[in-house]
Each structure stands twice: as C-alpha cells, then as structure tokens.
Amino acid sequence: MLRKDDGFTMAEMLASLVVLLSISSLVLQMAAFLHTSLGSRSSINPREWEICINQIKREVRQSTSQEASGDTVYLVVGSDVVSIEKYQDKLRRKLNGAGYEVLLQNIKSFYAKKEGKSIVLTVTDKEGASFSRILRPYITSRNE
C-alpha cells in the first residue's frame, strides 16, 4: 500500500529554488535593460563626458596661454600648441596641428568662449542634450 505524506522532499525544494532564482534573475536583467534604454535620452554617456572634461581640464591647467573662439580652443603648453576642435560629429585634440586624438563622439555642436580667465565649454549631443563646464587655468596669460 502506497503512503502519501503532505511534505516536500529535498529534491523538490531544490528544484523550486532553482526555478525561483532563474525567474528572479531574468526579472532583474529585464529591469536593468529597461532602465538603461528608457532612462537617459543622451547619446553621450556621462562617464565619457567626465573623462573628456578631465582630459581637457588637465591641458588647460598645464597651459600658459588660452584662446577660445567658436568651435575651437587653443592652448599653449610649453612649446606645443594644443587645439581642441569639433570635426564632423567628434570633439578632437590636435597637437601642433598634426594628428589627432578623439576626445568625444556623437556630438552635434561644440561651443567655447573665454569669460575673463575662465573657458566655458558647451557640447550638445545628437539627441539635443546639452553639457557645459567652466574650466579655470592655474597659470594665466600676462596680457589679461
């Protein structure tokens, strides 16, 4: 005669635990995907922006002379001239007019202006989001 108890065996408990963990991991992955795809409508990642600004900030702080006009920034660092300019959909850094290094991609516009001793940089990405930063050099030009 077969006897049926109303309990779970260890194998049934492990199987139900595996199913529960699988479902919860899928739900978490889906939530993370939805958060990244719906959360931000910017084609520039905030980390990319911070890295770009830190690179430019380092150049500005090391420079002895700074000029900003429209979509180009000119910095004199030692005997080198560093220019930061918009080219197509990229923000790039050129050293002495030769070669280039891409600082930021997927930009629609770049505008730089000098306000006193500070340089104001404004970047607009392809989605229309605007990023702006004020940079101050350690060493300023004598003619200011």
**pLDDT digit string (tens) for 27-77?**
999 988 887 766 556 678 889 999 999 999 999 988 888 998 888 999 998
Q: Reduce the DSSP state of residue 75 to 3 states and report it.
A: strand
- Count Cα neighbours of 60 within 13 Å in the Cβ-side half-sphere: 22
Structural domains in the chain (count): 1
Q: What angle do CA 130, 125, 72 make, to 5 degrees?
A: 85
Strands annotated E in the chain: 65-69, 72-77, 80-87, 90-95, 98-105, 107-115, 118-125, 130-135
Calculate what percentage of the chain has a pLDDT beyond 70. Answer: 88
The confidence score (pLDDT) of residue 4 equals 65
Is residue 18 domain-resident? Answer: no
Domain membership of residue 19 (yes or no) is no
* pTM of structure: 0.67
Domain interval for residue 73 = 46-135
Mean pLDDT of all residues in the chain? 86
Task: For residues 89-108, give the mean pLDDT.
Answer: 91
